Amino acid sequence: MIHSLFIINSSGDVFLEKHWRSVVSRSVCDYYLEAQRANPNDVPPVIATPHHYLISIQRGGVSLVAVCMQEVPPLFVIEFLHRVVDTFQDYFSDCTESVIKENYVVVYELLDEMLDNGFPLATESNILKELIKPPNILRTIANTVTGKSNVSDSLPTGQLSNIPWRRTGVKYTNNEAYFDVVEEVDAIIDKAGVTVFAEIQGYIDCCIKLSGMPDLTLSFMNPRLFDDVSFHPCVRFRRWEAERVLSFIPPDGNFRLMSYHISSQSVVAIPIYVRHNLSIKTGEQGRLDVTVGPKQTLGRAVEGVKIEILMPKCILNCCLTSNQGKYNYDPVSKILHWDIGRIDVTKLPNIRGSVSIATGANTSEINPSINVHFTINQLAISSLKVNRLDMYGEKYKPFKGVKYITKAGRFQIRM
């Protein structure tokens, strides 16, 4: 399936390559780099060359390009590449060029275990951590002195069972199951405050620390909200189609149970508003006035608010005053950053002041945009609610917890 994998940095240099079936020249990446130069923000995920297919993703400032000799299901390969990045982030807390270079040995060991002769083999984090120990300073020093590697001498217990994602013989003193329902709001709002586009990308992350072999059933109050879903392999898909409940034997530890998509704009509530005014006249100083406030948050606090305003090229500098948070303006990138933090509803955040305009600049066509970042705890903006969690197969009673988080995805307001 996958013959080779190339990891490319933002400068277009291949800094890591791994081959499984046969050695493919790195010159094949020229097709990808050519497509990237033509349109940096929209590189085709599948590129057909005379003798290969290039399937790629971009994450963390690096590009992962898989090379296939024959036609393969592209979404299968894309999902595997995302799983590779998730594994690197789990092991090294990040997936950047510098982090990968610092952990070359562990990276190659992981790629050897994750793919066997080009086909996915072990992709679960808890299984991989039994095979390859995560790096730390003491283990690195010991391996350097003794000449040993991070690879375990024994096969993980999960690889020998009919449930490959879960270890056997798991025991915990405190049996706990935590679920984080995270929703990211993508929206485009026009000058008049009317929602042009809105959708929700959500996912449920789990931390399961349960003894034995528990069989869990998770149900929702309103499962018909979902427009599109994708599941962890542990979920029984037929039961979801028939009853709209999640039935699964969970992996041990942290994993993503499901991802979902909600595109019905009638369901997507906009939790924050931005009142803005930018007046610019030729040959004069302009005025900027921006106010931020909560809209539909059900009384929940809006935290971690950050505003990024992409100013017109004719703006040289800004002299502003904010009643909350700090701001800075980069005259090179023309981006105004305003870090608000938590919104105080008794005194809404406001920033105002003058902006300097270049002499002779054309101010007739100016359309700046505002990118908004925020977090709302204990709120699912789609009104999704977990109904109950039942456990079968074990006799103990676990502690269960559900947390809801709403965040801004690509949230843009046009001025």
> How would you write 252-270 as a 3-class SS string?
CEEEEEEEEEECCCCCCCC
Q: Yes or no: say if 353 and 280 are a contact pair by the CB < 8 Å rule.
A: no
| Separation of alpha carbons 375 and 362, rounded Å | 38
| CATH number of the CATH domain containing 341 | 2.60.40.1170
Per-residue pLDDT, 159: 55
Same domain membership, residue 149 and residue 24: yes
Establish if 233 belongs to a structural domain.
yes
Q: 69: burial class by Cβ within 10 Å (0-12, 13-18, 19+)? A: middle
Residues 6+ apart with CB under 8 A from 405: 180, 181, 182, 183, 375, 376, 377, 378, 379
**Same domain? 373 vs 383:** no
Residue 160 pLDDT: 58
Domain final residue pick, 160, 184, 212: 160
Do 232 and 88 lie in one domain? The reply is: no
- The CATH number of residue 72's host domain is 3.30.450.60
Note the pLDDT of residue 3.
92
Q: What was the pLDDT predicted at 378?
A: 92
CB-side neighbour CA atoms (13 Å) of 26: 11
Residue 168 within a domain: no
Residue 405 φ/ψ region, left for φ over 0, alpha for ψ in the -120 to 50 degree band, beta for the rest: beta
Domain span including residue 117: 4-160
pLDDT at 5: 93
Asked if 88 contacts 37 with a C-beta cutoff of 8 angstroms, the reply is no
Q: What is the pLDDT of residue 386?
A: 92
In a domain, 293, yes or no: yes
Same domain, yes or no: 14 and 101 = yes
Selection from 50, 46, 83 nearest residue 66 by Cα: 46
Both 192 and 246 in a single domain? yes
Q: Are residues 141 and 290 in the same domain?
A: no
Instruction: Decide if 210 contacts 177 (C-beta within 8 A).
Output: yes
Say if residues 406 and 372 touch (Cβ distance below 8 Å). no
Q: 10-residue block means of pLDDT along the chain (415 residues)?
A: 91 91 89 88 89 91 91 91 90 88 88 86 77 70 60 60 77 93 92 88 93 92 87 92 93 90 78 86 76 86 91 83 89 89 88 82 73 92 90 91 93 88
Helices 104-114 and 74-92: crossing angle in degrees, nearest 10, is 140
> What's the pLDDT score for residue 246?
94
171 lies in a domain?
no
Assess if residue 217 is contained within a domain. yes
- Alpha-carbon gap, residue 207 to 257, rounded angstroms: 10
For residues 139 and 30, membership in a common domain is answered with: yes
**Cα distance between residue 295 and residue 411, in whole Å:** 14
Last residue of a domain, one of 113, 132, 160: 160
Same domain? For 196 and 344 the reply is: no
Q: Is residue 169 in a domain?
A: no
Do 342 and 392 share a structural domain?
A: no
**Strand-pair category, 302-310 with 215-220:** unpaired
Cα distances from 210 to residues 174, 215, 223, 389, in angstroms, run 8, 10, 26, 13
What integer pLDDT is reported at residue 138 of this predicted model?
A: 59
The residue among 366, 363, 370 whose CA lies nearest residue 414 is: 370
Q: How many CB atoms lie within 10 A of CB 204?
A: 22
Domain identity same for 313 and 366: yes
Q: Following DSSP, what letter does each residue of 17-77 receive, concatenated?
A: EEESSS---GGGHHHHHHHHHH-TT---SEEE-SS-EEEEEEETTEEEEEEESS---HHHH
pLDDT of residue 356: 83
Structural domains counted in the chain = 3
- What per-residue confidence (pLDDT) applies to 363? 64
**383 and 401, same domain (yes or no):** yes
**Do residue 239 and residue 256 come from a single domain?**
yes
Domain stops at, among 134, 160, 186: 160
Does residue 31 lie in a domain region?
Answer: yes
Residue 170, domain member (yes or no): no
User: Could you give the CA distance from residue 184 to residue 238 in angstroms, rounded to a whole number?
Assistant: 27
pTM of the shown model: 0.79
At residue 208, the pLDDT reads 92
